[in-house]
Amino acid sequence: MTELPAPQAGGKKLGLVIDLDTCVGCHACAVNCKEWNTSGHSAPLPDFSAYQAEPSGVWFNRIHSFEVEDGGCGRTVHFPKNCLHCETPDCVTVCPTGASYKRAEDGIVLVDADLCIGCKLCSWACPYGAREFDDDAGVMKKCTLCIDKIYNQNLAEADRVPACVATCPASARHFGDLGDPHSAVSRLVAERGGYDLMPEMEYRPVSKYLPPRPGKTNGGGAGAPARLDHVQQGGENKFLRWVDRLLSR
Amino acid sequence: MHPALSIILFTTLSGMGYGLLFWLGLMVPLWWLPIGAYTGLAGLAVALLFVTAGLSCSSAHLGHPERAWRAFTQWRSSWLSREGVASLLTYVPALGYGYLWFTGGDDRLWSLAGYASAAGAVVTVVCTAMIYRSLKTVRRWHNGWVVPNYLALSGASGGTWIVAVMAIRNEISTPRTALAAAAVIAVAAALKVGYWRFIDQDRSGSTIASATGLGRLGQVRLLDPPHTEDNYLLKEMGFQIGRKHAQKLRRIALVAGFAAPIVLLIVTAVTTETAAAAAALAAALVMTVGVFVERWLFFAEAKHTVTLYYGASTA
């Protein structure tokens, strides 16, 4: 059913919180996601020409790296990106068969691979590039928020988190109910000023991004200068001036 | 956006077919297009041939064409589904129109079937255009120029085919119909040029700053893409066409899609019999090529917001 579900009383809004301040760009989350999805709901994820020229495959999680001019100093920000399980996503409403749907009880957006005809229109509707087409199976695939893991009674309670969240070594990924203002993730978003990607699209993403914290510029209290000044040309130390001239030839 | 052959063939062929169906269904019962039954039926056959060929091409685009029937179910929310339903429903009055014309059935019923076919043609083309127009992710499609352009090009290309059929059948009203068709092409040309001007000047849209939310820290640029090789996103939505290349193709589209057909239709109007038929058929064929190039550009020049994560600064 590709009409969006009516908001449910007591319904959850499950999503992720990505901390751009602590992400180190290791891609562990992407790898673990790929591994988890070799079985389960979306299995298998294809890899064409995996060890030959021009490999190509479906990954639900992609880690980009951006450079930001942060007050004159370049700053690297690693940027993991996967489905944001938006509240009002067009990727659900454009689907002609009802294969793309949003669950009312927890807000997870999924693709029913048995109904999908592979028209690819949903991927055109996603501004974030969260959906990738499986050329082998002929259907669209995307992040499932590890729906086959978070509700899996065969796993210990502590393991019922998405694969990407469980594996992050920098604790840069958090999972929870963003519809509950008192949940840990909601408080994190409120504290750190978590934001939506491309809010002008009005898809109302549920998953939020935490901005990088301001960089330290006081040398951590060790007395180090914020910037290294150039060596003074007319400085007092004659020996150093002579060395400078020697080396400048 | 990657210009997929199956989709380009689908929209151009079915657009031509629906345009032709529109003129036949509306103009003949109104007595604005006085043509004989055999000419009309030939035109109708050509129209339905194009529409059916176009629809078949679209199923070639699918990963699971055997499930394509499911695409008729979500008309409440999906323009693609609505287009499917409209295209299917339009066959009903169109075939009825043909049947009543062939059997010389009730005049009023025949007229109604004609009007319904024309309406169905318009609705279907509008639904097709809305698929693109409704996508917020592609700024160059998400504007008010797209639906009028689809309708005008459908009418213009369909118009050249009605003239071709009439000229081959040596219908008396061919000359003035040819000139009317030329006028429709001129309108379509104006709309197309207007669209190109709009997309060249349009500066609104998303930026790398809003896509990453990092604009609050300063200028943002891509340092490392997430993968070294291509993936589905880059193949489908990373397609880029150089500006010079695009300008050249625009000129080709203008000549083949608009200027040459207009000239050939004027030739049709001032000549008779074989010469007129040849000129009219040439106009229709040249227009078909021109519309194909125009549609290819419509896809090639479109920029998707996902490119903001792969190095683009605006989209």
Q: What is the DSSP secondary structure assignment for residue A2, as one 8-state letter? A: -
Which pLDDT score is estimated for B130?
Answer: 97
Task: Tell me the mean pLDDT in the region B210-221.
Answer: 95
pLDDT in tens, A44-98: 999 999 999 999 999 999 999 999 988 777 899 999 999 999 999 999 999 999 9
pLDDT at A1 over 70: no
Which pLDDT score is estimated for B105?
Answer: 86
Q: What is the DSSP secondary structure assignment for residue A174, as one 8-state letter? A: E
How far is the alpha carbon of A71 from chain B, nearest alpha carbon, in Å?
A: 7
Task: Tell me the mean pLDDT in the region A137-160.
Answer: 96
| Residues from chain B contacting residue A137 (CB–CB below 8 Å) | 63
Mean pLDDT of chain A: 91
The verdict on residue B315 lying in a domain is no
pLDDT in tens, B112-129: 999 999 999 999 999 999
What range defines the domain where residue A46 resides? 14-215
Confidence of residue A41 (pLDDT cuts 50, 70, 90): confident
Which pLDDT score is estimated for B100?
Answer: 95
User: Nearest residue of B to residue A211 by CA position?
Assistant: B214
Which pLDDT score is estimated for B152?
Answer: 97
Confidence of residue B162 (pLDDT cuts 50, 70, 90): very high
Which pLDDT score is estimated for A219?
Answer: 55
A59 lies within 8 A of chain B by CB? yes
How far is the alpha carbon of A224 from chain B, nearest alpha carbon, in Å?
A: 24
Coil/strand/helix, residue B11: helix
pLDDT in tens, A152-187: 999 999 999 999 999 999 999 999 999 999 999 999
The verdict on residue B22 lying in a domain is yes
What range defines the domain where residue B38 resides? 5-310
Q: Which residue from A212, A248, A210 is spatially nearest to A230, judged by alpha carbons?
A: A248
Mean pLDDT of chain B: 95
Cβ–Cβ < 8 Å for B154, B22: yes
| H-helix or E-strand spanning residue A201 | none
Contact flag A59-B134 (C-beta cutoff 8 Å): no
d(CA B228, CA B216): 28
| Residues from chain A contacting residue B211 (CB–CB below 8 Å) | 127-128, 197-198
pLDDT in tens, B235-259: 999 998 888 899 999 999 999 989 9
Contact flag A20-B214 (C-beta cutoff 8 Å): yes
d(CA B43, CA B15): 15
Mutate to test the interface with A, among B59, B216, B224, B236 (most CBs of A within 10 A): B224
Cβ–Cβ < 8 Å for A126, A100: no
d(CA A78, CA A1): 36
Q: Which of A57, A117, A196 sits opposite B64 (nearest CB)?
A: A117
The verdict on residue A68 lying in a domain is yes
pLDDT at A215 over 80: no
Cβ–Cβ < 8 Å for B79, A96: no
Cβ–Cβ < 8 Å for A20, A67: no
Instruction: Output phi, psi for A201, to 5 deg.
Output: -75, -20
Which pLDDT score is estimated for A236?
Answer: 66
H-assigned helices in B28-104:
37-59, 79-103
Cβ–Cβ < 8 Å for A111, B35: no
Confidence of residue A234 (pLDDT cuts 50, 70, 90): low
Cβ–Cβ < 8 Å for A111, A103: no
The verdict on residue A149 lying in a domain is yes
Contact flag B78-A95 (C-beta cutoff 8 Å): yes
A226 vs B290, higher pLDDT? B290
Q: Which residue from B219, B244, B235, B242 is spatially nearest to B310, judged by alpha carbons?
A: B235
Contact flag B80-A211 (C-beta cutoff 8 Å): no
Q: What tokens were used for B164?
A: 């071709």
For residue B192, give the CATH number of its domain.
1.20.1630.10
The verdict on residue A236 lying in a domain is no
Mutate to test the interface with B, among A97, A111, A116, A204 (most CBs of B within 10 A): A97
pLDDT at A222 over 70: no
For residue A34, give the CATH number of its domain.
3.30.70.20
User: Nearest residue of B to residue A99 by CA position?
Assistant: B70
Dihedral class, residue A134 (left if φ above 0, else alpha if ψ from -120 to 50, else beta): beta
Chain A / chain B CB contacts < 8 angstroms: 202
Q: What tokens were used for B9?
A: 């063939």
Contact flag B80-A121 (C-beta cutoff 8 Å): yes
User: Nearest residue of B to residue A122 by CA position?
Assistant: B135
Q: Over pLDDT 90: what percentage of chain A?
A: 76
Which pLDDT score is estimated for B129?
Answer: 97
Mutate to test the interface with B, among A19, A47, A64, A207 (most CBs of B within 10 A): A64
The verdict on residue A116 lying in a domain is yes
* Global confidence as pTM: 0.92
What is the side-by-side order of every strand in the sheet holding A73-81? A73-81, A62-70, B220-224
What total number of domains does chain A contain? Answer: 1
Q: What tokens were used for A166?
A: 């469980």
| Residues from chain A contacting residue B6 (CB–CB below 8 Å) | none
> Positive or negative CA dihedral for B266, B267, B271, B277?
negative
Instruction: Output phi, psi for B195, to 5 deg.
Output: -60, -45
The verdict on residue A100 lying in a domain is yes
| Residues from chain A contacting residue B78 (CB–CB below 8 Å) | 2, 93-96, 121
Which pLDDT score is estimated for A232?
Answer: 60
pLDDT at A229 over 80: no
The verdict on residue B211 lying in a domain is yes
- Beta-ladder partners of A62: A81
* Tokens 């996967």 belong to residue: A82
Mutate to test the interface with B, among A20, A79, A84, A100 (most CBs of B within 10 A): A79
Q: Over pLDDT 70: what percentage of chain B?
A: 100
The verdict on residue B207 lying in a domain is yes
Confidence of residue A220 (pLDDT cuts 50, 70, 90): low
Helices (H) and strands (E) in chain B, counts: 11, 1
User: Nearest residue of A to residue B64 by CA position?
Assistant: A117
The verdict on residue A20 lying in a domain is yes
Longest dimension (CA), chain A: 82
Contact flag B225-A64 (C-beta cutoff 8 Å): yes
Q: What tokens were used for B149?
A: 């352009």
What total number of domains does chain B contain? Answer: 1
The verdict on residue A201 lying in a domain is yes
Strands A208-210 and A14-19 come out as parallel
Contact flag B226-A70 (C-beta cutoff 8 Å): no
Contact flag A198-B206 (C-beta cutoff 8 Å): yes
pLDDT at B84 over 70: yes
